[in-house]
Amino acid sequence: MATGSDAKPKLGATKDRILTSTLALFNERAPDRVTTSEIARSVGINEGNLYYHFKTKEALVLALFKKFESEAVDLVQASARSTSTEIGVYSGFLRDWFSLVWNFRFLFRDLSALVASAPSLTEPIKAVSSGMQSAVRHMINQMMQAGFISVPEKEQEPLLANVWIVSTYWAVYLGLQEGVVNLKEEHLGWGLNQVSSLFRPYLSGEARDALDSMLNR
Amino acid sequence: MATGSDAKPKLGATKDRILTSTLALFNERAPDRVTTSEIARSVGINEGNLYYHFKTKEALVLALFKKFESEAVDLVQASARSTSTEIGVYSGFLRDWFSLVWNFRFLFRDLSALVASAPSLTEPIKAVSSGMQSAVRHMINQMMQAGFISVPEKEQEPLLANVWIVSTYWAVYLGLQEGVVNLKEEHLGWGLNQVSSLFRPYLSGEARDALDSMLNR
DNA sequence: GTCTATACCAAGATAGAC
DNA sequence: GTCTATCTTGGTATAGAC
């Protein structure tokens, strides 16, 4: 995304290539079940070289989390700035967040294991999660003011929690129940629909139509 | 549940004690992060002895799953037999299933990792999951006929999937977001409320009252 | 059925040549 | 920066005495 001279865009710096390969592997299987030798092989370098770039396996996890974190922060900030009452904005945010979680899904597969293997992540993870919550809360409030949605006071917090839970774990369900082994991008629509259906009962007719047209895209 | 003479109920046979301790440890941390030596220590026996009773670590997982499975089957069958249109039956089933998932929560923390470490579980897990789905589907149908609930045709399947997702992963959310480290039985009510709130928008006034009184117990 | 001792192995990590 | 070779650790599992 900022390589001095992009004459040979085929391969980035080794460090970047390592991160790319590692992310793919971690998304496939939990980090504990991906060995450093496997990572090295998939990058096409030697294991010793891998350790030159990242002194420990945990450093890899940390580096990947940093990338996720910065993207998440961008997203939340963008949504905080937005004051548009355009209906598409809300579904757009949902879609972006959704896609981000998907790209870094290894982080969410077993959060407690993740934190156990990299304790320094405890607070950052909590922070991102809270930030996302506030963003959704903000979004819902704006939608309520615009008359797109109407959620009884007492049901708001449970709804928020469920949005978080479903947007994080729909992929696991799909993998298990439908027997989908290698989840691909096209399954993202399924998950998006699951999260949307949490909101649907509370939507106005107009908002429901907008949501449906977004889902059909 | 069928011990020849129950004169000394204080301690069961070693095999049972092993399973009890192991379940507790697995619920605390993922099986991969619980060592056999730890298990032996917590049972109060030697590691060699542990291996006498269970030849491999996987055998422990399998044995625990069997217990879960049989309880799950009982539950689903009981609900299939029931033709009562008593409102409490539905919330009762939900509560039972919920408590079962809670008792064996280690099975659900990272299903893909579980299946990877014990591939023979793939089909049984899928079967239990489907069985539970049908039970909930059956339950919803009966509730609809009794006029307690009204879910539009198109929203039924997404709702079912969300019930499964939330009833399985609420504990993870709580652990992360509220900073609850050692989840205890009292948190069960919180999770039950999350699942209930998925149904709430579709309930009749009468059913909603029944649900609320169940939740307050 | 329970223990002690020990083999085995895979994975993370380091040293040092190129 | 990249490689080869090697060390180290800790966890699973077995042998065999009691």
Same-domain check for residues A6 and A105: no
Out of A55, A70, A101, pick the residue that ends a domain: A55
Which tops the pLDDT comparison, B186 or B115?
Answer: B115
CATH of the domain at B173: 1.10.357.10
- State residue B53's pLDDT score: 98
Q: Residue A11: is its pLDDT beyond 60? A: no
Give pLDDT, residue B70.
97
Nearest-angstrom CA–CA distance, B177 and A127: 9
Q: Report pLDDT for B9.
A: 36
Q: How sure is the predictor about B80, in pLDDT bands with cuts at 50, 70 and 90?
A: confident
- The most confident of A14-23, A130-139, B204-213, by mean pLDDT: A14-23
Q: What is the pLDDT of residues A24-50, one digit of tens each?
A: 999 999 999 999 999 999 999 999 999
**Chain B residues close to A158, C-beta within 8 Å:** 193-194, 197
Q: State the CATH number of the domain containing residue B38.
A: 1.10.10.60
Query: Do the Cβ atoms of A155 and B200 come within 8 Å?
Result: yes
> Quick one: which residue's CA is nearest to C14's C1'?
A48
Residue A203: φ, ψ to 5°: -80, 150
Distances (CA, A) of B163 to A17, A159, A195: 40, 13, 12
Last-in-domain residue among A31, A55, A79: A55
Indicate if the pLDDT at residue A22 is higher than 90: yes
Chain D bases closer than 7 angstroms to a protein Cβ: 1-5, 10-16
- Overall average pLDDT of the B4-26 stretch: 76
Task: Give the distance, in angstroms, between residue A13 CA and nucleotide C1 C1'.
Answer: 60
CA A111, A117, A122, A125 torsion-angle sign: negative
% of chain A exceeding 90 in pLDDT: 46
Q: Which of A30, A165, A198 sits opposite B170 (nearest CB)?
A: A165
Same domain, A117 and A44: no
- Mean pLDDT of the region B178-202: 83
Q: What is the mean pLDDT of residues B42-65?
A: 98
pLDDT > 80? residue A176: no
User: Does the pLDDT of residue A9 top 60, yes or no?
Assistant: no
Last residue of some domain: A55, A76, A101? A55
* Chain B, nearest residue to A177 by Cα: B126
Is pLDDT at A180 greater than 70 in this prediction? no
Q: Which positions in chain A touch B25 (Cβ < 8 Å)?
A: none
Evaluate if residue A109 carries a pLDDT over 60: yes
Confidence (pLDDT) at A217 = 72
Structure tokens at B7: 């004169």
Q: How confident is the model at residue A179 (pLDDT cuts 50, 70, 90)?
A: low
Q: Judge if B87 and B192 occupy the same domain.
A: yes
* Spatial CA neighbour of B87 closest among B139, B137, B164: B139
Is residue B66 domain-shared with residue B119, that is, in the same domain?
A: yes
Q: How many angstroms separate the CA of B84 from the C1' of C17?
A: 79
Higher-confidence residue of A176 and A190: namely A190
When pLDDT is cut at 50, 70 and 90, the band that residue A181 belongs to is: low
What integer best gives the mean pLDDT of chain B? 87
Range list of H helices, chain A: 14-28, 36-43, 47-53, 57-81, 87-103, 106-109, 111-117, 122-145, 153-177, 188-199, 205-216
Question: What is the DSSP track for A51-81?
Answer: HHH-SSHHHHHHHHHHHHHHHHHHHHHHHHH
Confidence of residue B7 (pLDDT cuts 50, 70, 90): very low
* A44 and A96 together in one domain: no
Q: What is the pLDDT of residues A43-102, one digit of tens each?
A: 999 999 999 999 999 999 999 999 999 999 999 898 888 777 677 788 788 888 888 988
Q: Domain span at residue B18?
A: 1-55
- Look at residue A115 in the predicted model and tell me its pLDDT: 87
* Residues A22, B74: Cα–Cα separation, whole Å: 43
Q: Is the pLDDT of residue A14 over 70?
A: yes
Do B50 and B121 have their domain in common? no
Residues of chain B whose beta carbon is less than 8 angstroms from a beta carbon of chain A are 29-30, 32-33, 109-113, 116, 125-126, 129-130, 133, 155, 158-159, 161-162, 164-166, 168-170, 172-173, 175-177, 179, 193-194, 197-198, 200-202
pLDDT at A194: 95
Query: How sure is the predictor about A157, in pLDDT bands with cuts at 50, 70 and 90?
Result: very high
Structural domains counted in chain B? 2
Q: Same domain for B84 and B131?
A: yes
Q: What is the pLDDT of residue B205?
A: 92
Stretch A101-129: mean pLDDT: 88
Q: What percent of chain B has pLDDT over 70?
A: 91
pLDDT at B8: 36
pLDDT value for A53: 98
Please tell me whether residues A46 and A137 are part of one structural domain.
Answer: no
The whole-angstrom separation of Cα B196 and Cα B180 is 21
Please tell me whether residues B143 and B208 are part of one structural domain: yes
**pTM, to two decimals:** 0.89
What confidence tens digit (pLDDT) does each residue in B93-114 have?
Answer: 888 888 898 899 899 888 888 9
Report the pLDDT value the prediction gives residue B207, as an integer from 0 to 100.
87
Residue of A nearest to B32 (CA): A32
Contacts of residue A129, defined as CB under 8 A and 6 or more positions apart, other chains included, come to A164, B176, B177
Q: Based on the fold, state whether residues A21 and A117 are members of the same structural domain.
A: no
pLDDT at A34 (0 to 100): 97
In the chain, the amino acid numbered A57 is: K
Give the residue-averaged pLDDT of B121-149.
Answer: 89
Q: Do A83 and A133 belong to one domain?
A: yes
Residues B166 and B135 reside in one and the same domain: yes
The model's confidence at residue B179, banded by pLDDT at 50, 70 and 90, is low
Is a pLDDT exceeding 80 seen at residue B88? no
